[in-house]
Amino acid sequence: MKKIVGVGLILFSSIVLGACGNSNSNSDTPKETTTASSTMVSLEFSSSVEKKTNLLSNDSAFGKIADNVPDGESIEVQGKQDYSTNFNANFWAGVNLNFYRVSVVKTTAVKDYSDNQYNGFVAVHYNIDNTQQDVSISPNQATIVTDYGEQVDDGGAFNYDSWDGDFMKGTKKDGWGIYPLSKLPDASSIKSLRLKI
């Protein structure tokens, strides 16, 4: 009985597949074929998906900047450079200020709400460990100077980690200071950075 059912299924499958595969050359209906144009569509789709990943809003370090500017969702990343640093500053007794990562991003034109135009950003990751005394520190309001000569006096609206101010004894905090650049030649053009907090 099992052999008869098996042979019946094979015979039925052959008839169905044969009917699907039968082509009538005299038919007026156009045939569906895979052509080079369908491959092209597939490639174009892949390119557009890749382009969307280059949006600033999708970047892990700089994505929140897009929320602070008009048309932020359309800003594209043209280049990015990450640097590991190991700079420790002990300007105050018992307060350790560490910079352990700097990221630079070159973007398409960015206009803030005051119509200032920028073409990139530098982000400095700060880590503060206050073990002895109360201090007031404002990394988001730091002045930075790039090695190509651009000075930024304040990150302003681009800072999304709001952690400036008073740090009481025993406080440990970390966050990003974001500084807009208007003359950035390329993401890899910054080799040194001067900070004044």
pLDDT digits (tens, 9 = 90+) for 44-79: 333 333 445 699 889 887 888 888 788 888 999 999
106 lies in some domain: yes
Q: Summarize pLDDT for 145-157 with one digit per residue, the tens.
A: 999 999 998 766 6
Residue range 4-32: average pLDDT? 41
9 lies in some domain: no
pTM tops 0.85, yes or no: no
For residue 5, the model assigns a pLDDT of: 36
SS3 154: coil
Helix runs in 36-131, H state only: 36-53
DSSP string, 109-137: EEE-TT--EEEEEEEEEEEEEE-SS-EEE
Element at 19 (helix H, strand E): helix 2-21
User: Structural domain tally of the chain?
Assistant: 1
Q: Summarize pLDDT for 154-188 with one digit per residue, the tens.
A: 766 676 666 777 888 998 988 888 899 999 999 99
26 lies in some domain: no
18 lies in some domain: no
List residues bridging with 181 in a β-sheet: 120
25 lies in some domain: no
